Amino acid sequence: MSDKKPKPPIISAPPRKVCPICGKPSYSAVGVHPQCAQKIAKSTSTRL
């Protein structure tokens, strides 16, 4: 019998959503970093 362990299959991770504000990959479910969302909220509230 062989003592070699079977190699695990190579599974690639799904691509991350890119934040539309900063252009970096986001781990948020919405796809926007919380700090970027705050920047947008502040800029839109000052325009009103």
Asked whether residue 3 is assigned to any structural domain, the reply reads no
The answer to whether residue 48 scores a pLDDT higher than 70 is no
Write down the pLDDT at residue 27: 86
For residues 8-37, average pLDDT: 89
Q: How many domains does the chain have?
A: 1
The β-bridge relationship of strands 17-18 and 25-26 is antiparallel
Write down the pLDDT at residue 2: 65
- Provide the residue range defining the domain that includes 38: 17-47
Task: Report how far residue 39's alpha carbon sits from residue 10's, in angstroms, rounded to the nearest whole number.
Answer: 39
Beta bridge partners, 45, equal none
Asked whether residue 40 is assigned to any structural domain, the reply reads yes
Write down the pLDDT at residue 24: 94
Task: Please report which confidence band the pLDDT of residue 45 belongs to, taking 50, 70 and 90 as the band edges.
Answer: confident
